A and B are shown apart, each in its own frame.
Chain A
Amino acid sequence: GAGVSQTPSNKVTEKGKYVELRCDPISGHTALYWYRQSLGQGPEFLIYFQGTGAADDSGLPNDRFFAVRPEGSVSTLKIQRTERGDSAVYLCASSFSVRDTQYFGPGTRLTVL
């Protein structure tokens, strides 16, 4: 079956612009995670959803970052007023439940000029 997909694969934007990153999890997976990964680092947790609700958003760096999952499937990570420091690879993962194996998407590489 289909794995986790993320779009776009690459996004280049200018400082101050708004961006949306999309994640399509594996069908039937209730848990969905967003991470950010910088070069040479492991993924850094941002937020996770259990169903439609954000169960923990403690990893979001500031209020410019927001994520939604309105129907408990597709999720969108939204970044307002982008800054150069937001440049990274944004990874999405899903799992059947929170204690199960996480399956990752290929990531979206965000570059803020």
Chain B
Amino acid sequence: KQEVTQIPAALSVPEGENLVLNCSFTDSAIYNLQWFRQDPGKGLTSLLLIQSSQREQTSGRLNASLDKSSGRSTLYIAASQPGDSATYLCAVPASGGSYIPTFGRGTSLIVHP
């Protein structure tokens, strides 16, 4: 059974810092990994989707890397802003060829001015 762990569980930083959020998973036979953002009381917004053949994806100040063999992904946020405050979740297929995503519990980020 796929298990997804996100570290840290919570993070509070001053504006402008560069951040690293970690996601690890136990079954490395995945075809993709997705990072989401969730604002309080809202649904999830997709940030980045990395296919298993890719090493990283970039969107603006966000960069996500994937190391399948070690079962890890990292979301890097450059020059953090208060508007980045949210919970960040990663999701991978439940196991092997499954189409069912398994989510981590998320990292709750607060960026204060």
B34 at the interface (CB under 8 A from A): yes
Query: Bound state CA distance, A49 and B98, in angstroms?
Result: 14
List residues of chain A with CB within 8 A of the CB of B49.
100-101
Cβ of A98: which chain B residues have Cβ within 8 Å of it? 99
CB distance from A24 to the nearest CB of B (A): 13
How far apart are the CA atoms of A61 and B106 in the complex, in Å? Answer: 23
Stretch at the interface among B11-19, B40-48, B63-71: B40-48
Chain B contact-residue range equals 20 to 34
Chain A residue with minimal CB distance to B4?
Answer: A42
Contact A41 B105 (CB under 8 A): yes
Q: Which among A59, A103, A106 is the interface contact of B42 at CB below 8 angstroms?
A: A106
Instruction: Determine which of B34, B102, B105, B106 lies in contact with A102 in the assembled complex, contact meaning CB atoms within 8 Å.
Output: B34
In the complex, which residues of chain B have a beta carbon less than 8 angstroms from the beta carbon of A41? 105
CA distance A100 to B105 in the complex (A): 22
B7 CB to closest chain A CB (Å) equals 14
Given contacts A106-B42, A107-B42, contact A56 B104 (CB under 8 A): no
Chain A contact-residue range equals: 20 to 34
* Measured CA separation A33–B100 after assembly (Å): 9
Q: How far is the CB of B81 from chain A (nearest CB, A)?
A: 23
* Contact A45/B89 with A99-B31, A99-B32, A101-B46 known, Cβ cut-off 8 Å: no
Residue numbers in A under 8 Å from B75 (CB-CB): none
Report B66 CB to chain A, min CB distance, Å.
15
Please encode chain A, from 60 to 104, with 1 for each CB lying within 8 Å of some chain B CB and 0 for all others. Answer: 000000000000000000000000000000010100001111111
Binding site for B on A (CB under 8 A): 4, 31, 33, 40-45, 48, 55-56, 58-59, 91, 93, 98-107
